[in-house]
Chain A
Amino acid sequence: MISDLFRRTRPRRRVVPKLRRLLRSRVRARAWLALAPALLLALPAQAGIVFTPHLSEYSRLPRAPFVEGTLIMTQIEEIYDREGNEVPLGEPFVKAGDSTDAALFLFKYLWIGNLFRDSDVPILKTRDQFCRMIGVLGYQQNTGRIAARTRLFGIRPGSNGLGDLFGLCGIYGHEHQWGPLKFNGLLATTIKFPIGDYDQDAALNIGTNYWSYIPQFAFHAEAFGRLYVDGTFAYQFNGDNDEPSFGGLTPTRISNWRNLEINFAWKFSEHWFADIGYSFRESVGRNGYDKLTVNFEDQPLAPESACNNTNNNLGVEVLTPEVCRNPVTQQFYLSPKPGPYEDRGIEGHMLTAGIYYVYRTSSVLQLRVAQPIRGRGSQIDAEYYVCAIEPCNEQTSGGVTTPTTLFGVQEAAAVSASPYLELRFVHLWWAP
C-alpha cells in the first residue's frame, strides 16, 4: 500500500526540463514566480525612544546622582510603508492580527556636579556638568504567523537580552530669568556603544551593531511657575553595519538622523503634572542595503509556496488553484541579488501624553502614552534570480529575475505606527 504510493510517485528530475521551458518566458515566469520572494515582513524594533524628553529633562537639577528606571511596552501591529501608509504587520503575506511585541527596560544613571568648581578653567568652573549612562534590557518577539513565517528563511523570530550602552556628557548653561520666564540651555554629546546582543540570523535584535554619535542642544524653560517646556535638537551620526541581520534587511549604510523634540508640562500642584509632547525624527538621505541574502531556507520551491504567500488569507485570488497545485511545475530556485539597494529614507512623527506624580521631592512616577501620527518606513525594490537548477545565480538563471519589494527592518529602517506605553520611575538616590 505505502509502497504502491511510492511507485506512483513521479521522479522529480522529470519536472526540471518542463520548468526550464516554462522559465524561458520571462513574462510567464514573472506572472507567478514574482509572488514567491515577496514575502518578507516588515519588522520594526525599538524606535528612537531613549531620548524622548520628559518633564524638566533638561533643567538644571541639583548636584546629585539620580537613577531612573523606565519600562516601555508596545505591541506593534502596524507600520508605515515608504508612501506613508499604515500597513498591518505581515500583510499581505499573513493575515493581520499578529504583531511584534516588545518591552524595553532602560536603566539610567545621571550624575550632576562640577569637577572644575575649584579650578580656573574658564566656562566650566561656573557651569555644572553632567554625565549619564543608559543601559538597556530588551525583549522583541514576533508573534503567531509572523514568527512562523520568519522560520521559512531560517531566521529566529525574536531576541532578548542586553541592549546597546548609551553614554553622554554635557554642560549646563546659566539660568536666565526674564520676568515670569526662566530658562537654561545645555550642550551634550551621546555615544552609542554597540555592545548589545546581536544575531545576524535574528529578525529582531536588541543591539544595533553600529556606532552612533549624537551631539545635542537642549533647553528648559519655566513660565509663571506652571508651564514647563523642554526641547532638544539632536543630529545623529550613524556608523555602518557590515553585518546586517535578517538576511540583509537591516541597512548596511545607515543614514544620519535629525531629531527634534519638544515637551510641554503643566504643573497642577507640587505633586501632580501632566505633559504633551511632539517628537520628530528624519533620516538625512537614504539607507543603503548592500548584503541582501534573505531567502527561503528550504529549496527548491513549489508554486504552492507562492500561492500560500499570496492567495491564502488575502481574500483575493492571485493565482488559480490549478496553477498552485500543478505538479508539473514542481520546483524552482530563488536567489537574491545582494545589492546595492537604497530606500527613500525614513521619517516619524509622534505625539506623547503623560501624567507625573512627584513623591517627597525625591521620586517621580510617570505614565506616558506615545502615539505615532505620521511616518515613512524603509522599503527597497530587490531582484531575485529565478532558476531551475542550483546554484541559482545570474548564469544559471539565464537572466531571469523577478522583482520584489522588501521592507527594511529594525530601528534604522522601520517606523512603527502603533502606540507604546511607558512607565517611568525616577529616584534621587542621595539627597544633595
Chain B
Amino acid sequence: MRNPRGGVALLLAVAALLPVGAAQAQSQDSPLPSFGRYKPLYPGQYLHLAYTQTDGDEYFDAEGERRDGALPTYGPSALPREDLRAELSWHFPLFETYALPFISSRMWRARVQLGYARTEAEGAVADFARDESDDEATFADDLATEGSGLTDLRLALGTYLFGAPSSGWREGRSGPASLLAELALTVNTGEYERNTPVNAGHNTPAVHALLGLHWSPWAGGFIDAGLRYGAYIKNQDPTFGAQAPAQVGDTLSWDVSLAQRLWPGAYLSIYGQGFDRESNRYENPRFAPNPPTPPPGSDAIPAPGNYRDDGVERRSIGAGFDVFLSQRLTLGLHYTRPISGRSGQFDLDYNFRVPEGCFTDAVGCTLLPAGSVPVDGLEAGRALAADRISLSLRFHFLERDTFDCVGCSS
C-alpha cells in the first residue's frame, strides 16, 4: 500500500508537470504557465498534451499600441493559429552510484517536445498572396497562405541546483524550494513552407538556457518563476520574401505564477509572462506590399541589404484552473491576455529601375533611389495581442525508475 506521503508527492508531481510550449510561433520561448512547472517531480514518465488557440487578429504596433489586425502594411489581416503540443518528460537521478561531483547528487529532468500547428493567414495578406497579377514583375510569386504541419522538435536536459537531492528521490522527497537549470535545443524539423506569412516551424535552430524556481511557501500554495534566454542560428531562408527575420534577436523571456489549492484536487492560478527580443535582422527582403509607384517605363525593386527592427516585446497576464480527474490525470484550462508589447518593423529601401525589367549590371540599366516603405516583421518579428486559450491534459505513467537496471545492485 502506498504511504500517504508518497501519494501526496505523486499528486503534486502530476500537478506540477512541465511547461509546455507556447501557443504561437512568436512566443515559443514562453511556456504554458502550469502551476508547479519547475517543481522536481516524482520519478517516472509524464505526458503533457496541450491545445492552444488564438485568433491572431490583434497586434501591438511598433510604437506599442494595441490594434486590430495582424499586419498593418497589408491591411486588415489575421494570423490564427491552433497548436496541439505533446511533451514527454522524465525525472531521474543520473549516475547516482558513481558519486560524481555535481552530477550524482541531484535530480535531472529530460524533455522531448513535438506538436502540430494549424495556421493560415487570412484577410488582406492572404489576398496579396493569392494575387498573381504582379508575379511576373516581382518576387512576390508562388506565395501561399497555409503553413500547417508538425512543429519543431525540442530536446531539453536540466538538473536541480538545489531542492531536489538524488538521495531521496525514490521517496519523492524534495524541499519546499528548488531551482532548475536547463539547456534546450530546438531542432527545426517543423513544417516551413518558405512562401507563407505563417508557419508551423521556424527554420532556425535555437538554444535555450532556463532557470526555474519553485517555492511552496504554504500548504497548497505554489510559486513558480522562470527566466530563459534564447539564442538563434541564422535562418537561411526567411519566409514570405524574407519579411521574417534572417537573424532572430536574442530573446529573454520570463514567467511567474501563483497557484493556490481551492479544494483537494483543484488549483487556481494567476500568472504573468513576457519576452524581450533584441533587434531582428532582415536580409535582402524581396518584396513589400506597398512599394513606391514607379514612373512609366521603370519598376520599383527593393534595395538588397540588411535591415533591422527595434526589437519585439510582449507582456501577458492570465489565469488557470487545474483539476485532478484522477491521481494520474489532470485537466487544465488557461486564459492568457497580452497587455502590452511592440512588433518589429523596418523601413525597406527601394530603387526605381530604368528601364523596367533591365538587368541591373547591364549598360543602360539605371537604379534611382525611390525612398523607403515600412514593412511588418513576420514570425519572430510580430507581437500579436490576441487572447489565447489553452486546454491541457497531463498524464503520469510508468511510475518507476526511468532507467531500469536488470541485474544491477542499485
Give the segment of A31-39, A221-229, A261-269, A355-363 that binds chain B. Answer: A355-363
Partner among B296, B361, B405 whose Cβ is within 8 Å of the Cβ of A325: B361
Stretch at the interface among A158-166, A171-179, A185-193: A158-166
Shortest distance from the beta carbon of B140 to any chain A beta carbon, whole Å: 13
Shortest beta-carbon distance from B248 to chain A in Å: 15
* Chain B residues in 8 Å Cβ range of A363: 403
- Does B203 interact with chain A (Cβ within 8 Å)? yes
C-alpha gap A55/B190 in the complex (Å): 30
Task: Give the dominant DSSP class at A's interface.
Answer: mixed
User: Quick one: which of A71, A103, A162, A304 contacts B150, CB cutoff 8 A?
Assistant: A162
| Residues of B with C-beta under 8 A to A158 | 192, 194, 203, 236-237
Q: Judge whether A330 is part of the interface by a CB distance below 8 angstroms.
A: yes
Q: Does A101 count as interface, using CB distance less than 8 angstroms?
A: yes
Which residue from A3, A10, A359, A432 sits with its C-beta under 8 Å from B295?
Answer: A3
Determine if B406 and A160 form an interchain contact, defined as CB atoms under 8 angstroms apart.
no
Do A161 and B205 touch (CB < 8 A)? no
Is A428's beta carbon under 8 Å from chain B? Answer: yes
Contact A9 B205 (CB under 8 A): no
- Residues of chain A contacted by B368 (CB below 8 angstroms): 2
Q: Known contacts A105-B153, A302-B362, A325-B362; decide if A160 and B404 are in contact (CB<8 Å).
A: no
CB distance from A340 to the nearest CB of B (A): 28
Q: How far is the CA of A3 from the CA of B295 in the complex (A)?
A: 8
At the interface, yes or no: B264 with Cβ under 8 Å from chain A? no
- The contact string, 1 if C-beta is below 8 Å from chain A, for chain B 145-160, is 0000110010100000
A1-39 residues with Cβ-Cβ distance < 8 A to B are 2-3, 5-6, 8-10
Contact, CB under 8 Å: B150 / A161: yes
Contact of A361 among B194, B284, B406 (CB under 8 A): B406
Q: Which residues in A have their C-beta under 8 angstroms from that of B364?
A: 8-10, 327
Nearest B residue (CB) for A9: B355
Nearest chain B CB to A67 CB, angstrom units? 10
| Residues of B contacting A5 in the complex (Cβ-Cβ under 8 angstroms) | 354-355, 366
Q: B236 contacts which chain A residues (CB < 8 A)?
A: 101, 141-144, 147, 157-158
CA distance A101 to B203 in the complex (A): 11
Counting CB contacts under 8 A, is A305 at the interface?
yes
Closest to A141 in B: B236
Contact with B along A111-141 (1 / 0, CB 8 A): 0000000000000000000000000011101
> A57 at the A/B interface (Cβ < 8 Å)?
no
Does A339 interact with chain B (Cβ within 8 Å)?
no
Q: Is B321 an interface residue (CB 8 A)?
A: no
- Does A431 sit within 8 A of B, measured CB to CB? yes
Given A138-B189, A302-B359, the answer on whether A360 and B404 have CB atoms closer than 8 Å is yes
Q: Is the CB of B297 within 8 A of A6?
A: yes
Q: Which of B239-297 contact A (CB under 8 A)?
A: 284, 295-297
CB of A319, distance to nearest CB on chain B (Å) = 13
Q: Give CA–CA (A156, B193) in the complex, Å.
A: 9
Cross-chain contact of B297 among A9, A10, A103, A430 (Cβ < 8 A): A9
Whole-angstrom distance between the Cβ of A50 and the nearest chain B Cβ: 15
- A141 contacts which of B155, B203, B296 (Cβ < 8 Å)? B203
Residues in chain A near residue B192, CB distance under 8 A: 158-161
B408 in the interface, Cβ–Cβ < 8 Å? yes
**Complex: chain B residue closest to A156, CB-CB:** B194
Could you say which residues of chain B place their CB within 8 Å of the CB of A139?
A: 187-189, 203
User: Least Cβ distance of A6 to chain B in Å?
Assistant: 4
User: Contacts of B406 on A, CB cut-off 8 Å?
Assistant: 361-362, 431-432
> In whole Å, how far is B137's beta carbon from the nearest beta carbon of chain A?
10
Q: Does A342 have its Cβ within 8 Å of any Cβ on chain B?
A: no
Whether the pair B404, A103 counts as a contact (CB closer than 8 A) is no
Beyond A69-B112, A141-B236, A142-B236, whether A325 also contacts B195 by CB under 8 A is no
Is the C-beta of A418 less than 8 angstroms from some C-beta in chain B?
Answer: no
A194 at interface, CB cutoff 8 A: no
**Contact present for B187 and A161 (CB under 8 Å):** no
Cβ of B316 < 8 Å from any Cβ of A?
no
Nearest CB of B to A426, in Å: 12
Most buried by B among A161, A363, A428: A161
Across the interface, which residues of A come within 8 angstroms of B237, CB to CB?
141-142, 147, 156-158
Instruction: Report Cα–Cα, A10/B191, bound state, in Å.
Output: 47
Return chain A residues, CB-CB under 8 Å to B194: 156-158
A403 within 8 A of B: no
| Cβ A201 vs Cβ B189 within 8 A | no
Beta-carbon contacts of B135-147 to A below 8 Å, as 1s and 0s? 0000101100000
| Cβ contact within 8 Å between B361 and A103 | no
B216 contacts partner chain A, Cβ-Cβ < 8 Å = no
Report Cα–Cα, A8/B112, bound state, in Å. Answer: 64
Q: Verify A361–B203 contact, CB threshold 8 A.
A: no
A184 in contact (CB, < 8 A): no
CB pairs A–B below 8 angstroms (10 shown): A2-B295, A6-B296, A6-B297, A71-B187, A105-B189, A137-B187, A154-B141, A304-B362, A359-B95, A362-B405
* Chain B residues near A (Cβ < 8 Å): 95, 112, 114, 139, 141-142, 149-150, 153, 155, 187-192, 194-195, 201, 203, 205, 236-237, 284, 295-298, 352, 354-355, 358-359, 361-364, 366, 368, 403-408
In the complex, besides A137-B189, A359-B403, 7 extra interface pairs with C-beta distance below 8 angstroms are A2-B298, A9-B297, A105-B189, A147-B237, A161-B189, A305-B359, A362-B403
